[in-house]
Amino acid sequence: MVSWYTRTIYDYLAVGAVIILLMVVLNKVLRRLGVNREVATGYSLILPWILGFLIWNIGPFIASFYLSFTDYNGIQSPEFLGFDNYVEMFTDDRNFWPVVRFTLLYSVINVPLGLAGALLTATLLNQNVRGLGAWRTIYYLPAVLPAAATALLWRWMFASDGLINFFIKPALNLFDQSAPGWFTDVDLVLPAYIIMGFWGIFGANTVILLAGLKNIPRDLYDAATVDGAGRINQYRNVTIPMLSPTLFYVLIISIIGSLQTFTVAFFIEQPRRAGTFMNVYIYERAFQRFDMGYASALGWVTLVIILLFTLLVFKSSPAWVHYEGERT
């Protein structure tokens, strides 16, 4: 009897063989159409990626748009409802607006603090100090740690007998206060997530900003020194303007990331009335209540929110983003 593992291996081999056959056929067809040999080979080699993109990205994207107008539980055939899911979302769903408020409030607070912290950390790592390579490695570690492991670590630290309460307990005792329940007290859930968001400061954003700092020509600082500018004026009038394209990029990816927060909240239980993130709510509606149609509608609303914030940043960029060599 063939095991499921062996059948899976056979399936993978069959799919691989079909893709290779399609690559060969595409190459032959392009060559017959008179396409250059190198170009035809290039198109053939990127065919697996194109197929994966069409099947696993564009396909679900289109399907979710259709399902957002249906009643679908993942098993039975979708039943078309028109705009009923969206009407229910904005009028009858008591959880929708608290979830939106929680997600937006978290993003509005976390993104600026995270950007400022990453900029400060990158500036410190840009100094010529001993053991700088080791410090850079240490600060980049959060970017390579699994998100699930990080969430479990923070859950332990914020527990009633966790590390954070252990350190603040002496100060609380002075005021005769008990240790807070970070994920049981409705008023403390959002601050706890914001504190956890600081973890993201020391990671990819810091490395990106550090690369941007390294790319600033030294001649600009020398010219500013000749003009009598101190270190603060150099940072304000040279570093920030020259770093603004990198800040713009980090700001965009930070907004998108914060609005799509999922893993950390998924592994932490909290009171329902405290609110949660949009992606967590989408997961609950799709895979706990099996309301795939409504979850798809929530996903499209989340996409619109992300697009609006991204568009706002793009529209504001001419006022504060400066590119080297750009004429004003």
pLDDT score of 327: 57
Predicted confidence at residue 240, as pLDDT, reads: 92
Whole-model pTM?
Answer: 0.86
User: Which residues neighbour 164 within 8 Å (Cβ) at sequence distance 6 or greater?
Assistant: 157, 158, 182
CA–CA distances in Å: residue 52 to residues 29, 57, 244, 294? 21, 7, 35, 26
Alpha-carbon span 119 to 107, nearest angstrom: 18
- pLDDT given for residue 302 in this prediction: 96
Q: Are strands 79-80 and 70-71 parallel, antiparallel or unpaired?
A: antiparallel
Ramachandran assignment for 237, one of left (phi > 0), alpha (psi -120 to 50 degrees), beta (any other)? alpha
Tokens 């304000």 belong to 236
How many Cβ atoms are within 10 Å of 30's Cβ, its own excluded?
Answer: 18
The long-range contacts involving 184-193, CB below 8 angstroms and separated by at least 24 positions, are 184/270, 184/271, 186/271, 186/273, 186/274, 189/270, 189/271, 189/274, 189/275, 190/102, 190/105, 190/106, 190/274, 190/275, 192/158, 193/106, 193/110, 193/261, 193/264, 193/265
Would you give the distance in Å from CA 108 to the centre of its chain? 14
**Could you list the pLDDT tens digit for every one of the 328 residues in the chain?**
567 778 888 889 999 999 999 999 999 999 999 989 999 999 999 999 999 999 999 999 999 999 999 999 988 899 999 999 999 999 999 999 999 999 999 999 999 999 999 999 899 888 877 777 787 787 787 778 888 888 888 888 888 888 888 888 888 888 888 888 888 888 888 888 988 887 766 778 888 998 899 888 888 888 888 888 888 898 988 899 999 999 999 999 999 999 999 988 888 877 777 778 999 999 999 999 999 999 999 999 999 999 999 999 999 999 999 887 665 5
